[in-house]
């Protein structure tokens, strides 16, 4: 019997990456819900939807992810990233569905100096991270069977992201300045979707109860400056990039200076290897190039 998987936030980078891999999983019946079908900003819609549909797994990709806007849109960020997750967890628990919830490296303060393990104390430095942490805690306290997957610096060939912004700016300008004192690891959304599918497969074969937290990003470490340099190098763009410090590029939201995530728990649980960030970047850039030809 095909397992039924609901993917929320279907028009976002990760949601669209799940659509891309749908053909690879003939044993899965996917349902993709965007804001038109399931608006997490509207109280009650989550429970109403789940009361009229049946699923085996729900992958919650929906979130208020505009980090700077979350400083002003505090009520909206709290509704989508926290209160809607409370509703989702309760509805999922009542139906006995397994929940996979996507969270963020921004639950940490960035003051650590080695990869963050799942049990490291959380201490968000911005409202986005705080609301996402509220969502995590709501799931943990609900008693639902779930996995929380924290990730970082997500990009893809879809939507708006750092990679596509750099490609545009690199072709428009001769020089750019990019922050080099914020360190982490990029995550190709297609790899993250594959990782979540591996967790679903593992849960189906070896059911676990309670709430488990996993970290997933691509392997390796870089700064935003390193990331931009790699984008231009791999794309063959001639643009000079100069490093600057965070203080020279003020934003409404504070960013953690260090947010590298340890993937050891995920790799041990699934037995999968994690692609190196630069290798996955090359794959994404090729897909963007191919899409431009169509």
Domain ranges, residue 206: 3-160+187-220+259-275
Q: Pinpoint the alpha helices (H) of the chain.
A: 13-21, 45-51, 69-72, 74-78, 84-95, 127-142, 162-172, 189-205, 224-235, 264-270, 277-293
Q: What is the pLDDT of residues 156-173, one digit of tens each?
A: 999 999 999 999 999 999
Secondary structure class of 53 (helix, strand, coil): coil
- Taking only the tens of pLDDT, the chain with its 294 residues reads 789 999 999 999 999 999 999 999 999 999 999 988 888 778 788 888 888 899 999 999 999 999 999 999 999 999 999 999 999 999 899 889 999 999 999 999 999 999 999 999 999 999 999 999 999 999 999 999 999 999 999 999 999 999 999 999 999 999 999 999 999 999 999 999 999 999 999 999 999 899 999 999 999 999 999 999 999 999 999 999 999 999 999 999 999 999 999 999 999 999 999 999 999 999 999 999 988 775
* pLDDT on residue 294: 57
CA 61 remoteness from chain centre: 7
What tens digit of pLDDT does each residue of 87-128 get? 999 989 988 999 999 999 999 999 999 999 999 999 999 999
Please give the backbone phi and psi of residue 242, each rounded to the nearest 5 degrees, phi first. Answer: -115, 140
Kindly state whether residue 195 falls inside one of the protein's structural domains: yes
- For the chain, how many structural domains are there in total? 1
Using CA atoms, how far apart are residues 116 and 137, in angstroms rounded to an integer? 18
In this prediction, residue 50 carries a pLDDT of 85
- C-alpha atoms less than 13 angstroms from C-alpha of 136 in its C-beta half-sphere: 24
Kindly state whether residue 281 falls inside one of the protein's structural domains.
no
* Bridge partners (DSSP) listed for residue 221: none
Catalytic annotation, pick one of 98, 106, 116, 128: 128
Buried residues in 16-37 as b, exposed as e (16+ CB within 10 A) = bbbeeeeeebeebebbbbbbee
In a domain, 179, yes or no: no
For residue 26, tell me if it sits in a domain: yes
Asked whether residue 153 is domain-assigned, the answer is yes
In angstroms, the CA 192 to CA 175 distance is 32
Task: Give the C-alpha separation, 83 to 105, whole Å.
Answer: 20
The greatest distance separating any two alpha carbons of the chain, rounded to the nearest whole angstrom, comes to 57
Q: Which residues contact 262 (CB under 8 A, 6 or more apart)?
A: 115, 116, 117, 118, 215
Please say if 225 is a catalytic residue: no
pLDDT of residue 109: 97
Per-residue pLDDT, 16 = 97
| 249 Cβ contact partners less than 8 Å away, ≥ 6 residues apart | 177, 179
In a domain, 39, yes or no: yes
CATH number for the domain spanning 206: value is 3.40.50.720
Q: Is residue 201 part of a domain?
A: yes
């Amino acid at each position: 019997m095909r397992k039924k998987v609901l993917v929320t936030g279907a028009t976002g980078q990760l949601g669209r990456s799940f659509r891309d891999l749908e053909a690879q999983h003939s044993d899965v019946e996917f349902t993709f819900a965007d804001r038109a079908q399931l608006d997490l900003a509207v109280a009650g819609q989550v429970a109403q939807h789940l009361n009229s549909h049946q699923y085996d797994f729900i992958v919650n990709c929906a979130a208020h992810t505009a980090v700077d806007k979350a400083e002003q849109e505090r009520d909206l960020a709290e509704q989508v990233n926290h209160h809607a997750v409370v509703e989702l967890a309760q509805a999922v628990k009542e139906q006995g569905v397994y929940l996979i919830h996507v969270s963020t490296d921004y639950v940490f303060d960035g003051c650590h100096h080695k990869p963050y393990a799942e049990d490291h104390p959380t201490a968000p430095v911005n409202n986005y991270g705080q609301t996402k942490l509220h969502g995590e805690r709501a799931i943990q306290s609900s008693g639902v069977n779930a996995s929380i997957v924290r990730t970082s610096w997500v990009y893809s060939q879809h939507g708006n992201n750092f990679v596509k912004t750099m490609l545009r700016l690199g072709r428009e300008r001769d020089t750019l300045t990019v922050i080099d004192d914020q360190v982490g690891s990029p995550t190709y959304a297609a790899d993250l979707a594959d990782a979540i599918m591996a967790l679903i497969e593992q849960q189906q074969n070896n059911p676990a109860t309670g709430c488990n937290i996993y970290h997933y990003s691509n392997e390796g470490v870089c700064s935003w400056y390193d990331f931009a340099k790699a984008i231009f190098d791999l794309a063959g763009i001639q643009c000079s990039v100069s490093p600057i410090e965070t203080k020279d590029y003020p934003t409404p939201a504070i960013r953690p200076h260090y947010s590298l995530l340890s993937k050891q728990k995920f790799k041990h649980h699934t037995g999968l290897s994690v692609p190196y960030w630069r290798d996955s970047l090359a794959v994404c850039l090729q897909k963007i190039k191919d899409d431009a030809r169509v």
